[in-house]
Structure 1
Amino acid sequence: MRNSTPSGCPVTTVDTEALIADPHSVYAGLREAGPVHRVTGPDGRPAWLVVRYEDVRRALADPRFSLDKRNALPGNYDGLRLPSALDANLLNMDPPDHTRVRRLVAKAFTPGRVERLREPVTRLARELLDAVAPDGGADLLAAYAGPLPIAVICDLLGVPPQARVDFRAWTDHLITPDPAHPEATRDAVVSMMRFYAELIASKRERPGDDLLSDLIAVRDDASEGGEDRLSEDELTSLAFLVLFAGYENTVHLIANAVLALLDDPERLRELSEHPERLAGAADEFARFDGPGPLAIRRFPVTDVEVGGVTVPAGETVLLAVGSANRDPERFAAPDRLDFGRDRGGHLGLGHGIHYCLGAALARMETEVALRELLARFPAMELSVPRSELRWRPTIRARGLISLPVRWEGRN
């Protein structure tokens, strides 16, 4: 359904259920219809949806598009509400605060440091597969794609095994809140606040060789002073974001990659027989069906022209990276999984100053997870009809609820 706003931009009614079930077909129709659409956003408020590659890429790096919610028009945005101790994170910051906070945590995700994690990640992947191998099948999301990233990010932050809780439940309540049970989301936030407060207090008392201890030292050491100081809210929010994003996105990058291979037996056979081609494959999986189909919302600080449409200052802008990554104007045969294509240019891990901080870690974990899985179970297949798979009921994240598979082969 289409009519017009006062600015002349068509209003598009997007079928949310269709967008969840088959986003790539919906986005193909939207790209064909126009570069920018006036839609109802995930929070029920009006938003501008940008769907073509060049426009999305340009906007991702345009400083006129702010992440700071204070630049939203009053009443225009009603997204996820978190207490300041969790909300003062990089997803809500512009420079110079974004630059300062990102610099402090970036050292934990350098390629060299990430590469040193490859051996323990490989060891953990094999242990997880050992546990399910005798069963002849498993829900790979619950038994493998979920536990692997959470263990890695907890080790990076220094969360001891006995303190690790059900992060997946918290994540689900935040990403897909149930309007009928708002208390579940509130309880999740309270639980997270308690968890991070206790974890930071424990690290202050007994620091270790981990990222969180390093960040606490930066926060507490008066000799650091000046621009490199973190506020207490920034410290807590940074720990929250690293754990939340480092877990959430990698889980679904791995699971979506497995499903893409199960949907394409030729590509599954290719990677099983040529595991060396897994190097760099995470970028193609992130392009093909990444876990973040929409970039974090933006708010123009001035009127901005996008795709020939003037977007007023302060209104919500949604950049559809999932659509951009299937734009045939940028990618040849975009609906085909192709590990030989040019890896550069996809937007599945972001672009510009907000490029994914943990991209190197996500790539390494995905490569290791798939390498070990395919080596162990090269003949795996879905154990339910494809039509029975269910996606999380949100357009903000692209992730399965479960991924049941069965296998034959070397155990």
Structure 2
Amino acid sequence: MDASTTPSAPAAVDPAELFADPYAVYARLREAGPVHRFTGTDGLPAWLVTRYDDVRQALADPRLSLDKAHAKPGGYRGLALPPALDANLLNMDPPDHTRIRRLVSQAFTPRRIARLREPVRRTADALLDAVAPLGRADLIADYAAPLPIAVICELLGVAEDDRPDFRSWTDALVVPDPARPDGAREAVRALLAYFAGLLARKRAEPADDLLSALIAVRDEEDRLSEDELMSLAFLILFAGYENTVHLIGNAVLALLLDPPQLAALRADPARTGAAVEELLRYDGPVPLAIRRFPTEDVTIGGVAVPAGETVLLSLAAAHRDPRRFPEPDRLDLGRDGAGHLALGHGIHYCIGAPLARLEAEIALTALLDRLPGLALDVPVDALRHRPSMRTRGLLALPVRF
């Protein structure tokens, strides 16, 4: 396509097929062209970018804004949040993004993440202690979901007694109950009230946790506002919980479906860190990067995209692009994992990436160490993924061991 090319009609996508096998849908679109007008499963229009080079360049293009102020009315905008939770890094461009990220990096340090290694392993072992005598488990409900919420509560300084409520609110956001249409809205209100109280307690009695550190950080006279602190706490909770649950679940399923790769990893647990990079590429938890809005007319992959329209960058399509990854549909734990985009690229690279890697590595190592004979307990075609274009994750993962 040349710079003047505009697709004549939105690409047709079957939502059921997209939820069940996004890679087949994105492969067809990727080979048909680098950029498509696209109607999402929510019925809203967007531009979908499918090829690795274009996606990587677009992730770092300053003309593609995360700020919803640049969006035309009627496009895809993502999760609607109250203003106190909306002032987060996923909705910001420089200079605000630069200022907040600089402050956060003073508190969210590699040393703080490294100190979580032992608590993560203890939590993983405690969860496995509970299921090991049973010989069967749902690895989502019994392991992949409770592990990251416990880690986030430890990181933020949430008291033990508050953690059951914290988990229920998070679940209401991640897996809305169709019988309770207002459940997600109620959960947001409850979290907002809880974080307000928690921040007040941390101000009065600072502790050795991330929230206390975020309250204390300064850059000369600059510091985080109350809404910025609330939004950061919510972002750490929501993104850190949901994405890590799906990363662990998808990784375990990929290994169970490829016994030689599973056996090789069992035989050499030291390879688990490198294996996580290939598992992120192969079936990562985030099929689409956070939506972007061009601040001016731009050309992506030779296609003209008008200012203000919604641009969706398909990480799932980019990660299976044979132009970048040979035999991309094959899981290869020996592959050089450098270059995957699952954790972003450019100034919006995931600030929680070291924690996500740490949790996934420990979760897989503990699982393979503690549960010999691990295998699916249902036919693979009985497994169901969440009906979401935005996330890639299993509703349940029944296993035996």
The TM-score, its normalising length taken from structure 1, stands at 0.92
After the TM superposition, which of the residue ranges 39-48 and 390-399 deviates more from structure 2? 39-48
Question: What aligned pairs does 1:329-344 form with structure 2 within 5 A after superposition?
Answer: 329-344=323-338
Q: Which residue of 2 aligns with 1:35?
A: 34
Q: Is the 8 A contact 1:42 1:396 kept in 2?
A: no
Query: Structure 1 residues 179 and 285 mapped into 2: Cα distance closer, same or farther (>3 Å)?
Result: same
Distance between the aligned counterparts of 2:399 and 2:7, measured in 1? Answer: 49
In structure 1, what is the Cα distance between the partners aligned to 2:283 and 2:85? Answer: 28
Once the two structures are TM-superposed, the CA of residue 19 in structure 1 deviates from its matched residue by 0.8
Letter of the aligned partner of 1:106 in structure 2?
S
Aligned-pair CA distance for 1:11: 1.8
- Cα distance change, pair 117–180 in 1 and its aligned pair in 2 (3 A): closer
Distance in 2 (CA, whole Å) between partners of 1:82 and 1:257 is 30
Deviations 1:105-131 (A, max 9, x none): 224444343223212211221111111
Which residue of the partner structure matches residue 318 of structure 1? 312
**Structure 2: gaps (5+ residues):** none
Q: 2:262 aligns with which of 256, 259, 268?
A: 268
Q: Distance in 1 between matches of 2:302 and 2:174?
A: 32
1:84 alignment counterpart: 83
* Structure 2 letter corresponding to 1:13: A
Verify the 8 A CA contact 2:18 2:25 in the aligned structure 1.
yes
* CA displacement at 1:179 relative to structure 2: 7.7
2:154 aligned residue: 155
Alpha-carbon separation, structure 2, partners of 1:346 and 1:172: 29
| Conserved? CA contact 1:80–1:174, under 8 Å | no
Q: Secondary structure at the match of 1:185?
A: helix
Residue correspondence of structure 1 range 155-234 to structure 2 within 5 A: 155-167=154-166, 169-171=168-170, 173-175=172-174, 182-218=181-217, 226=221, 228-234=222-228
In the alignment, residue 209 of structure 2 is paired with which amino acid? D
Q: What is the SS of the residue equivalent to 1:327?
A: coil
Distance 1:167 1:18 in 2: 33
SS at match of 2:43: coil
1:189 CA displacement: 1.6
Q: Distance in 2 between matches of 1:94 and 1:323?
A: 25
Please give the per-residue CA displacement for 1:153-206, whole angstroms capped at 9, x wherever unaligned.
111111111111355554454456578854222212211212211211221222
Cα distance in structure 1, aligned partners of 2:83 and 2:344: 25
Structure 2 residue 252 is the aligned partner of structure 1 residue 258: yes
Quote the residue 1:289 is aligned against.
283
Moved more, 86-95 or 378-387: 378-387
C-alpha distance in 2, partners of 1:65/1:178? 34
Instruction: Give the Cα–Cα distance (whole angstroms) in 1 for the partners of residues 302 and 130 of structure 2.
Output: 55
Distance 1:164 1:42 in 2: 33
Contact preservation (8 Å) 1:272, 1:378: no
Q: Take 1:372 and 1:174, find their aligned partners in 2: how far apart are those partners? A: 28
TM-score, with length taken from structure 2: 0.94
CA distance in 1, matches of 2:175, 2:262: 31
Q: Which residues of structure 1 form unaligned runs of 5+?
A: 1-5
CA distance in 1, matches of 2:177, 2:32: 32
Decide whether the 8 Å contact of 1:196 with 1:236 is kept in 2.
yes
Contact kept in structure 2, 1:66 and 1:301, CA below 8 Å? yes
Match of residue 3 from structure 1: none
Equivalent residue runs for 1:9-408 within 5 Å: 9-167=8-166, 169-171=168-170, 173-175=172-174, 182-218=181-217, 226=221, 228-407=222-401
Identity of paired residues, percent?
65
Assess, with a 3 A threshold, how the Cα gap between structure 1 residues 326 and 103 changes in structure 2: closer, same or farther: same
Residues 5-41 of structure 1: per-residue CA shift (max 9 Å, x gap):
x944442111111011011111111111111111113
- What SS does the aligned partner of 2:384 have? coil
Counterpart residue identity of residue 190, structure 1: R
Contact 1:53 1:324 in 2 (8 A): yes
Contact preservation (8 Å) 2:149, 2:167: no
TM-superposed CA distance for 1:101, in Å, is 0.9
User: What's the secondary structure of 2:335's corresponding residue?
Assistant: coil
Which whole-Å CA distance do the structure 2 matches of 1:297 and 1:379 have between them? 41
After superposition, the C-alpha distances for 1:291-338 in whole angstroms (9 at most, x for unaligned) are 100000000000010111100000000000011011110001111111
Question: In 2, Cα distance between the equivalents of 1:170 and 1:303?
Answer: 40
Instruction: Say if 1:181 and 1:315 are closer, same or farther in 2 by CA, change over 3 A.
Output: farther
Q: Are 2:315 and 2:342, in contact at CA under 8 Å, matched by a contact in 1? A: yes
Tell me the alpha carbon deviations over residues 210-269 of structure 1, each in whole angstroms, 9 at most, x when there is no partner. 1101112348xxxx654x321211110011101111111111111110000111111111
Helix, strand or coil at the partner of 1:293? coil
Aligned to 1:48, what secondary structure does the other structure show?
strand
Superposed CA offset, 1:36-67 (max 9, x none): 11111354221000011011000000000000
Distance 1:75 1:11 in 2: 15
Contact 1:269/1:378 (CA < 8 Å) preserved in 2?
Answer: no
Number of equivalenced pairs:
398
Cα gap change, 1:149 to 1:385, in 2 (>3 Å) = same
State whether residues 20 and 394 of structure 1, in contact with CA within 8 Å, keep that contact through their aligned partners in structure 2.
yes
Residue type of the alignment partner of 1:285: L
> What's the Cα RMSD here?
2.0
Q: 1:33 to 1:169 in 2, by over 3 A?
A: farther
C-alpha distance in 1, partners of 2:346/2:51?
17
Q: 2-side partners of 1:68 and 1:42: how far apart?
A: 22
**CA 1:168 to 1:324, structure 2 compared with 1: closer, same or farther past 3 Å?**
farther
Instruction: Check conservation: 1:89, 1:238, Cα contact below 8 A.
Output: yes
CA contact 2:77–2:291 (8 Å) conserved in 1: no
